[in-house]
């Protein structure tokens, strides 16, 4: 039976099965949108926190580190309450749409990207901030320069967020509703197919998920290896 | 007087780092701040560049108090070079031209200035060298060139002579003298190398445990 399932899953993969393609495309579309929005918020946020004095910086770092432990179903529940018919944003009919998943996944990714960037900043960054300041840069120029100088750290943090978001199931299930050809993602499809005892599609999707995760990790590793660090005398 | 400092007290935790009753820095001179490690030299230099806020005391730069509204005035006219400076990624030219780029200078003017200041610090033809392919002494000289490029009224240098060979040191010494003479740039240097201090200084400020002793 296992052999048959594996054969079927590979057939689905290499025959470019329509349903499988739509699920993968939907997943990538949602995850990329979430990561893009989360990055646009997290990168300036992390850099701004790094400018702060020791006490508020430590406090905010602890908050973001704590938020890493929040389960996806709790985020799902929180957003569900906001966008369901009875919630404050119910009138926008966002529940069970791809956009609802994007909201939830963005909330999931923000603490991951922010915490990883903050953890990567070291004491040399104080030196760097002073150097940029003394050369006459304003705040925007400073954020831009720090972002450029830490591009490898920022990229690897974004990729860590990507890895977490693409593998989550709670938010996608609760806010997307696992609607076929609309909000069904790789993880919700795997959960559904496994529940039905249809392992072939689930396994094919699992292989795709693992392949994406490996590629993302290789890319992160390569980008960090090839990015030069600060040069100090 | 370009700087006037009065009753400056700066503590780091419970440790007193600086306690300066009165200090005036004359425009157009080379001033050397000397003293043992931990005597407060770096803190004083950072105060001159408004990198450190002082909770107590008065600091005047060109007779204007160094406060929030005047920080820009200080930053636009002074530049501080760290003891162990860092360079940004990219090449030497990107680094030296950084201050001019953010001041929106045209590219040809930036290229011309970069070449001039690199000549001054003895790094001719270093424009395209990658910043991660330089020795410690070269990094220091690029950092000095980066500061010189913006043609500051006050050049503040924290131990520029550390980690430098004799030949580079003589060249840098001459460069400081030339800049001071030609552009009337006020130069404030921290150093505990007495022969270097005597060679270059118009005025020596001696610090001991955060207090001026001579």
Q: What is the pLDDT of residues B97-133, one digit of tens each?
A: 999 999 999 999 999 999 999 998 989 999 999 998 9
* CA nearest to A124, candidates B87, B144, B39, B37: B87
Q: For residue A11, give the nearest of A211, A201, A188, A191 by alpha carbon.
A: A201
Q: What is the pLDDT of residue A224?
A: 67
A170-220: pLDDT as tens digits: 999 999 999 999 999 999 999 999 999 889 989 999 999 999 988 888 887
Q: Is the pLDDT assigned to residue A229 strictly greater than 70?
A: no
Between strands B56-61 and B64-65, the pairing is: antiparallel
Confidence of residue B162 (pLDDT cuts 50, 70, 90): confident
**What digits encode the pLDDT tens for the residues A113-145?**
999 999 888 656 789 999 999 999 988 899 899
CB distance B142 to B174 below 8 Å: no
Residue of chain B minimizing CA distance to A150: B89
Rounded-to-integer distance, Cα B129 and Cα B134, Å: 8
Length of chain B as a residue count: 214
* Residue B13 zone, left/alpha/beta (φ > 0; ψ -120 to 50; rest): left
With tokens 């007779």, the residue in question is: B63
H or E element that contains A114: helix A98-120
How far is Cα B2 from Cα B28, in angstroms, rounded to an integer? 9
Distance from CA of B34 to the nearest CA of A (A): 21
Please give the residue of chain A at the shortest CA–CA distance from B156.
Answer: A134
Report the pLDDT value the prediction gives residue A231, as an integer from 0 to 100.
63
Looking at residues B121-150, what average pLDDT do you find?
A: 93
Q: Measured between CB atoms, does A133 come within 8 Å of chain B? A: yes
- Asked if B5 and B161 count as a contact pair (C-beta separation under 8 A), the reply is no
The mean pLDDT value of chain A amounts to 91
A149 to chain B, any CB pair closer than 8 A? The answer is yes
A231 touches chain B (CB under 8 A): yes
| Inter-chain CB proximity B98 and A128 less than 8 Å | no
Which chain A residues contact residue B139 at CB under 8 A? Answer: 231-233
Strands (E), chain A: 231-232
**Cβ contact, residue pair B51, A232, below 8 Å:** no
What's the whole-model pTM score? 0.81
Mutate one of A54, A131, A227, A230 to test the B interface: name it (highest B CB count within 10 A): A131
Compute the nearest-CA separation of B23 from chain A (Å): 22
**pLDDT beyond 60 at A230:** no
Tell me whether residues B102 and A149 touch, CB distance under 8 A: no
Q: What is the pLDDT of residue A124?
A: 60
Q: How confident is the model at residue A225 (pLDDT cuts 50, 70, 90)?
A: low
The residue of chain B nearest to residue A146, with distances taken between CA atoms, is: B88
Residue A123, pLDDT score: 59
* Inter-chain residue contact B84 with A133, CB threshold 8 Å: no
């Amino acid at each position: 039976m296992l052999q048959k399932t594996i054969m079927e899953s590979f057939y689905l993969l290499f025959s470019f099965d329509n349903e499988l393609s739509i699920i993968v495309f939907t997943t990538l579309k949602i995850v990329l949108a979430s990561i893009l929005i989360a990055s646009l918020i997290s990168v300036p946020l992390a850099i701004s926190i790094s400018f702060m004095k020791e006490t508020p910086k430590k406090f905010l770092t602890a908050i973001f580190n704590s938020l890493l432990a929040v389960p996806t179903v709790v985020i799902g529940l929180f957003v569900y309450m906001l966008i369901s018919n009875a919630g404050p944003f119910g009138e926008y009919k966002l529940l069970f749409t791809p956009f609802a998943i994007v909201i939830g996944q963005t909330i999931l990714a923000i603490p991951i990207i922010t915490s990883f960037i903050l953890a990567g900043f070291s004491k040399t960054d104080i030196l760097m901030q002073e150097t940029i300041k003394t050369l006459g840069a304003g705040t925007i120029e400073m954020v831009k320069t720090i972002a450029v100088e830490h591009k490898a750290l920022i990229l690897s943090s974004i990729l860590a967020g990507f890895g977490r978001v693409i593998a989550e199931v709670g938010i996608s299930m609760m806010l997307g509703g696992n609607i076929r050809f609309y909000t069904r993602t790789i993880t919700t499809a795997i959960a559904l197919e496994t529940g039905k005892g249809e392992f072939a599609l689930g396994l094919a999707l699992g292989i795709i998920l693992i392949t994406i995760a490996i590629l993302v990790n290789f890319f992160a590793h390569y980008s960090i290896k090839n990015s030069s660090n600060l040069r100090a005398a | 007087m370009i700087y006037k400092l009065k009753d400056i007290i700066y503590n780091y935790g419970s440790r007193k780092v600086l306690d300066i009753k009165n200090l005036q820095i004359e425009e157009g001179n080379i001033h050397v701040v000397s003293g043992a490690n931990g005597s407060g030299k770096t803190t004083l230099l950072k105060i001159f560049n408004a990198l450190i806020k002082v909770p107590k005391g008065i600091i005047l730069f060109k007779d204007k108090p160094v406060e929030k509204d005047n920080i820009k005035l200080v930053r636009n006219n002074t530049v501080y070079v760290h003891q162990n400076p860092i360079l940004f990624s990219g090449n030497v030219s990107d680094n030296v031209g950084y201050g001019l780029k953010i001041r929106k200078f045209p590219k040809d003017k930036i290229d011309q200035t970069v070449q001039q200041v690199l000549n001054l610090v003895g790094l001719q033809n270093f424009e395209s060298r990658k910043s991660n392919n330089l020795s410690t002494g070269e990094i220091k000289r690029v950092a000095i060139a980066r500061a010189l490029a913006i043609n500051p009224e006050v050049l503040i240098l924290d131990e520029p002579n550390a980690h430098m060979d004799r030949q580079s040191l003589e060249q840098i010494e001459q460069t400081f003298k030339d800049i001071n003479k030609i552009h009337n740039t006020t130069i404030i240097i921290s150093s505990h190398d007495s022969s270097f201090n005597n060679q270059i200084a118009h005025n020596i400020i001696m610090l001991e445990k955060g207090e001026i002793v001579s």
